[in-house]
Amino acid sequence: MSLLIQQNEVNGMVEKPNCLFKPSGGALACMLNSEIGAVLAVMRRNVRWGVQYASDDEQIEHSLIISFKELRKKIFSWKNHWHTIDPVLYLQPFLEVIKSDETGAPITGVALSSVYKILNLEILDSKTVNVDNALHLIVDAVTSCRFEVTDPASEEVVLMKILQVLLACMKNKASVSLNNHHVCSIVNTCFRIVHQASSKSELLQRISRHTMHELVRCIFSHLPDLDDKQPELAHGNRSSPNVEDDSTANSQSLEEKQNIDYITAESDYRTNETARGKDSTLSADALMMDPYGVPSMVEIFHFLCSLLNVMENIEVGPRSNPIAYHEDVPLFALGLINSAIELGGASFGDHPKLLALIQEELFYNLMQFGLSLSPLILSTVCSIVLNLYHHLRTKLKLQLEAFVSSVLLRIAQSKHGASYQQQEVAMEALIDFCRQPMFVTELYANYDCDISCSNVFEGLANLLSRSAFPVNSPLSAMNTLALDGLIALVQGMAERIGQDSSGSGETSPELEEYKPFWTVKCNDYGEPLHWVPFVHNMKHIKRKLMIGIDHFNRDPKKGLEFLQGLHLLPEKLEARSVACFFRYTAGLDKNLIGEFLGSHDEFCIQVLHEFARTFEFRNMNLDTALRVFLDTFRLPGESQKIQRVLEAFAESYFEQSPDILANKDAALLLSYSIIMLNTDQHNAQVKKKMSEEDFIRNNRKINGGNDLPRDFLSELYQSICENEIRMVPDQGGPGAVLTRSHWIGLTHKAKQTSPFIVCNSGSHLDYDMFTILSGPAIAAISVVFDHAEQEDVLQSCIDGYLAIAKLSASYNLGEVLDHLVVSLCKFTTLLHPSFNEKSILYFGDDIKAKMATVAVFTIANSYGDHIRTGWRNILDCILSLQKIGLLPARLANDATDELESSPDNDQVKASATQSPASQALTNTPSRKSSGIMGRFSLLLSLEEEPAPQPSEEQLAARQRTLQTIQNCHIDSIFAESKFLQAESLSQLVRALVMSAGRPLKGNNSLEDEDTAVFCLELLIAITLNNRDRIMLLWQNVYEHIANVVQSSVMPCTLVEKAVFGLLRICQRLLPYKENLTDELLKSLQLVLKLDARVADAYCEQITQEVMHLVKANAMQIRSHMGWRTIISLLSITARHPEASEAGFETLSYVMSDGAHLSPANYVLCVNAARQFAESRVGQVDRSIKSLDLMAGSVVCLVTWFYQTKEAAGEEAATKMSQDILEMWMRLVQGLRKVCLDQREEIRNHAIMLLQRCLTGVDGIYIPTDLWLQCFDLVIFTLLDELPEMTQQNSPKEIRSMEGTIILSLKLLSKSFLQSLLDLSQSTSFCQLWLRVLGCMEKFMKMRFRGKRSEKIHELVPELLKNTLLVMKNRGILVPSDPVGGDSFWQLTWLHVKNIAPSLQLEVFPSEEVEKLQEKHAKGGCSPLPDGNVLVPPNETTV
């Protein structure tokens, strides 16, 4: 509590100047008068300030009192003209009191308070007369304040008032009038008070430190407003006393009556510049008198950095604590530096001196303190570096690399003896960096794609991944921090998706020949169109180079050969290329480089000299140049090798910096001398150290016979003594410590490195980074997710999974996404073998499992396009849910409900699938479009068998589970499958087929069948949703359905779903896929392969579906093969009691009025109609209708025959005619078969229709040969079979056969007469005629039950007479006298006499016969064509 009170007092004292007001002139006079009175009152309390008596007893007042009284006389006369009054007039008495060493602490304190009050009254501003002089006097007086110390409390009060006044000066509007010297004095005085306060009260310590912070913030807040051309002061060459480093001074003992003099002292900093004379000193003094700006800021910032230099005097080791003595001073200095950087910001980069301080002095100290054992210091250092990255990263490329890789990554990896607290701080700092929008992108572009830098991003990714792995459960804070870092990386990449036009990583062309690339720069580092391809190419080179480096570090010779094979070195090695390889490649073994460069081989010597020429030594001290040179390799131990290396160095240095040295020999000798001095000073085995005089003496007359300047040699000596040249360069090992020598090399390298690439918000390099990060990230997140219990950590893991999924999909990295899905599915617990209905209780309360489940299906819905093998795992999860009834039965149907156009069908399906239990829950809201979502509420009543009532706990757990599954939107996966990419869709279908399995005959469990049915339904739903890409899926779908159909021997749900799913596919796709009509209809042949028991069970439903298919798509079916499949399915139903009606309806639809008859299906339809006619299933009317359909189809034949005339080409017309005649012949043959039906009505109707088909085809020209064939195969065959059928019939049916024979004879007569003209021209006419007569004669003799038929006896002569009359009238039957054989005339009457003897006279009377014979004899011709064979009578009888 006391600390809090003191802190409030501090704030109240230092923040008071912010509460400014501006009173009137009279009020100002009154206030000033009160301050005068206050000072006088305090002074009069002291006897010293009472009246003094002269020798003549005259009273004499002290001059300080007199000045106050004089001021009192004037103040009320100034009134409202205060801005025109010189402030010195009313400030001077107070300042004299402050400067007086006669005044005690109380008086000085009151005077300081008065000055503070005046500063706060806004009397002083930039318009006030002589304000600059007034402020200078105030600063001079306060910084040189003197007073007598009477007691410690009074002293502290005065010190606090001094701080108040100085801060008020800096915050005053007129502070711009202060010069650089006064600002430095203010800072110096405040720091001295801070230092002195260490032995005072805590309140003074806090106030002094707070004031110091406020001063620094106030001063550096003006940096952005300063002109970057403002002259700067070289901080190492000042003659004016400005800022003093008292960090190591002892506190003064304050005795009574002792005066404390706060004055400035000489700075003790060593200069870094050598050639400065009196002119530079004078210019520095002049700059310090200018209005304050950059020069004072340089001085102050350098002073703050110097506070950190105490590190150089502390021994640093892996186990040592370099600041164990005290962390107060470094923390204070770091805090001030951080404040300066926060307010100065990017403006530091506009001023070279300030920037150089940051690049060299500050960053080196930050590196040292970063490796300290104090977590508090490390945290402060990280905050500073983060600010520097934000504002100045373009100027600090290699410094930032060194800090991240050598400090943060090293500490976070628990190297360098870091404690757990340090690791945690380092990890937090890395996470803060990762949260910067483009930090990792800039890491990758600037370091991982630069051959001279290490792979910082890759190291960061590996660190975060490894650190996230918990060593022991539960998770530690480090694991969680690393997880946050990983997720920050991937989420940052995910947020940048789509912010530029770049897709996946650009592929760099393979190197076909060597082209120097070591120092190649990009044309424009500010334009992504230029630098993105450049860094891609450099990364491509670096990847190969890293392999070559590994080979080189094992065997230099083979390594160089390997690099030649990669075209990274020329086929014929050049010294320059090898030198560049050594100089610019990071990761080489520096021992091997040193051995190579020191070798006596001629080529190695050439490489050595080229290597030395790669350095920029201009304007560089010799010791600095040597440090830079030796930092790149390890100097060999042999003297000859050292000689060669230093000769090459000396030659290169002299060429570039010949200012002091006379020749390269001087450079060589001095370099050798420096190496010896370095060994002498820093080798513990050397007891007697070389003095400065010894060093100067050793180097006499080496500069071309002359001595080198003593100052020059002295500076070299001091430099080597203070900072060792490390002969063993830092290899980046775990215990490596960055020395001053190494840092000098790094800062030199930073001046030559490529510019820092500032990345915009685009995702130009995210693909490459993600390929590096994805695998380790998935593994790390999975391990954390497995061990985590806190919900916030689990949610972070899920966020990481989703971000990785988004990136994988965006960059088309299917393997990564599959890996992610596989990893995530394991946490759903759905794949566990023991997952069953009892598991629902655990699942409902398992937050991890529920989050993983929702995440899996979110990924499947959002990024299914890019999932490949992962579909198998997703389906396994779905099947687990389905097995325990957590998915609705209509899931697959819901996936295609949107395709249904008929609302009636929807109602039928809904009612058919709604169970009584679900009907009781009709009030539950549902949406058809969402499918699965609207039906989850029905799942609580899925129990079919009586079961114990679940407890409330079980119901609640089940409800939670259902809610989780509802949030998964599983139905959308299949409903939206039409949007999946082709490859993903194919993999999904394959996964479904694999999940369904291959059921074996008679060896299926109920559970396996349910799974197979479910998968089959999903398969069909996906097929229907992807009708535009059916060929992509069809092969797999068809093979699976075929396997189900052919392996089923008994009716079951699986085969039912397969068959009707196949029919449904055909129904849906036929209207849209004309090119696939045959393929789809061919698939229906599977139905014909069904086992008889299976086919019988589903025949009616199958026929119904076929009917719907035909009615909807008859126009699309054009091929013979397609119709053959359809008609085959219909034909089967002809003898099926339940299916025949639908089958006949379908056939009637096709054949009625020839609506859909075509040459492709005519014969098939006729045969099917015949089967329906012959079938005794159903009423006789159906057979009659079937016969009518057959007979009615003749109209189509006639129509098609007319169309042959329009056929293109005679050959095509002939072919069409032949096909039509063939169809006609098939028709009459089919009718002939029905004419033998046992049912009289059917039989007789068939004969009548046959007669119609034979005699009613006037539109079709039937050739003679076809008529003869028709008589032979149809009519005569029918007449031959009827008597046999009569004998086989029962006595009751014989009478009905009489009418059938009569109709057959009429058919014979009319058909003969119909084709008489054509037949009479045939050479076979006589045989045909005699066969007709034989048939009539046979039926005249035929007896029914022993009696002849009177009707037939009456009918046959009549038919014969009519036929003979027609033949007579047409001149076919005429008398003739044959020579050498029986004539047609004689044979005819020979047969006629056997039938009806009197017919000859009735048809041909005697006188008419004689006339015809005479006429015939004169003509000498026969009515029959040549070639007719007359058959003897005994061979023509039947």
Q: How confident is the model at residue 340 (pLDDT cuts 50, 70, 90)?
A: very high
Average pLDDT (1260-1269) is: 88
Q: How confident is the model at residue 100 (pLDDT cuts 50, 70, 90)?
A: confident
**Which range has highest mean pLDDT (64-68, 482-486, 1278-1282)?**
482-486
pLDDT of residue 909: 38
Q: How confident is the model at residue 487 (pLDDT cuts 50, 70, 90)?
A: very high
Which are the catalytic amino acids? Answer: 638
Average pLDDT (200-216) is: 91
Cα–Cα distance for residue pair 1119/1117, rounded to 1 Å: 6
pLDDT of residue 1368: 85
pLDDT of residue 853: 93
The answer, yes or no, to whether residue 743 has pLDDT greater than 60, is: yes
Q: Coil, strand or helix: which one is 1043?
A: helix
Give me the residues paired with residue 60 across strands: 52
Average pLDDT (1159-1186) is: 90
Average pLDDT (303-312) is: 77
Residue of higher predicted confidence among 85 and 384 = 384
Q: How confident is the model at residue 400 (pLDDT cuts 50, 70, 90)?
A: very high
Least confident of 79-93, 147-161, 1395-1409: 79-93
pLDDT of residue 213: 92
Cα–Cα distance for residue pair 32/192, rounded to 1 Å: 31
Amino acid at 203: L
The answer, yes or no, to whether residue 55 has pLDDT greater than 70, is: no
φ, ψ for residue 947 (rounded to 5)?
Answer: -140, 160
Average pLDDT (63-77) is: 80
Average pLDDT (789-813) is: 93
The answer, yes or no, to whether residue 11 has pLDDT greater than 70, is: no
Residue 419 DSSP symbol: -
Q: How confident is the model at residue 413 (pLDDT cuts 50, 70, 90)?
A: confident
pLDDT of residue 508: 60
pLDDT of residue 1417: 62
Question: What is the dihedral sign for C-alpha 236, 239, 242, 245?
Answer: positive
pLDDT of residue 16: 44
Q: How confident is the model at residue 24 (pLDDT cuts 50, 70, 90)?
A: low
Q: Which pLDDT tens digit goes with each residue over 991-1019? A: 999 988 754 444 556 778 888 888 988 89
Contact 776, 462 (CB under 8 A): yes
Contact 1072, 1093 (CB under 8 A): no
Q: How confident is the model at residue 816 (pLDDT cuts 50, 70, 90)?
A: very high
Residue of higher predicted confidence among 930 and 58 = 58
The answer, yes or no, to whether residue 275 has pLDDT greater than 70, is: no
Q: Coil, strand or helix: which one is 232?
A: coil
Contact 148, 100 (CB under 8 A): no
pLDDT of residue 1438: 28
Q: How confident is the model at residue 190 (pLDDT cuts 50, 70, 90)?
A: very high
Average pLDDT (64-73) is: 81
Cα–Cα distance for residue pair 809/864, rounded to 1 Å: 8
Cα–Cα distance for residue pair 696/1429, rounded to 1 Å: 150
Cα dist from 121 to 16, 29, 88, whole Å:
11, 11, 15
Contact 859, 824 (CB under 8 A): yes
Q: Which pLDDT tens digit goes with each residue over 1361-1409? A: 898 888 888 888 887 755 444 688 888 888 888 888 888 888 888 777 7
pLDDT of residue 266: 32
Single out the residue of 1022, 1160, 1186 nearest to residue 1081, CA to CA: 1160
Least confident of 147-151, 841-845, 1397-1401: 147-151
pLDDT of residue 904: 39
Average pLDDT (1253-1260) is: 83
Cα–Cα distance for residue pair 604/641, rounded to 1 Å: 11
Residue of higher predicted confidence among 1193 and 57 = 1193
Count the neighbouring beta carbons within 10 Å of the beta carbon of residue 729: 21
In the numeric block, which tokens belong to residue 886?
């957590």
pLDDT of residue 7: 39
pLDDT of residue 1285: 82
Question: What is the dihedral sign for C-alpha 977, 983, 988, 989?
Answer: positive
Cα dist from 928 to 890, 894, 1014, whole Å:
11, 7, 19
Least confident of 169-183, 478-492, 599-613: 169-183
Q: Which pLDDT tens digit goes with each residue over 665-707? A: 888 888 889 988 988 888 888 888 888 888 888 888 888 888 8
The answer, yes or no, to whether residue 472 has pLDDT greater than 90, is: no
Q: Which pLDDT tens digit goes with each residue over 863-901? A: 999 999 999 999 999 988 888 888 866 666 555 544 444
Average pLDDT (329-344) is: 92
**pTM of structure:** 0.78
The answer, yes or no, to whether residue 315 has pLDDT greater than 50, is: no
Share of the chain above pLDDT 70, in %: 82
Residue of higher predicted confidence among 897 and 847 = 847
Average pLDDT (628-644) is: 87
Q: How confident is the model at residue 913 (pLDDT cuts 50, 70, 90)?
A: very low
Q: Which pLDDT tens digit goes with each residue over 1203-1253? A: 877 766 778 888 888 888 899 999 999 999 999 888 889 989 999 999 998
Average pLDDT (128-139) is: 84
126 CB-side CA count, 13 A? 6
Cα–Cα distance for residue pair 262/162, rounded to 1 Å: 11
Q: Which pLDDT tens digit goes with each residue over 1131-1150? A: 989 888 888 899 999 999 99
DSSP secondary structure of 599-631: ---HHHHHHHHHHHHTS--TT--HHHHHHHHHT
pLDDT of residue 793: 92
Cα dist from 449 to 193, 458, 526, 634, 746, whole Å:
50, 11, 16, 26, 19
Q: Which pLDDT tens digit goes with each residue over 241-262? A: 344 444 333 333 323 333 333 3
pLDDT, averaged across the chain: 80
Average pLDDT (1318-1332) is: 87
Alpha helices for 519-638 (secondary structure H): 528-554, 556-565, 575-584, 590-598, 602-613, 622-630
Contact 378, 369 (CB under 8 A): yes
Give strand ranges (E) for 1172-1253: none
The answer, yes or no, to whether residue 808 has pLDDT greater than 90, is: yes
pLDDT of residue 1168: 92
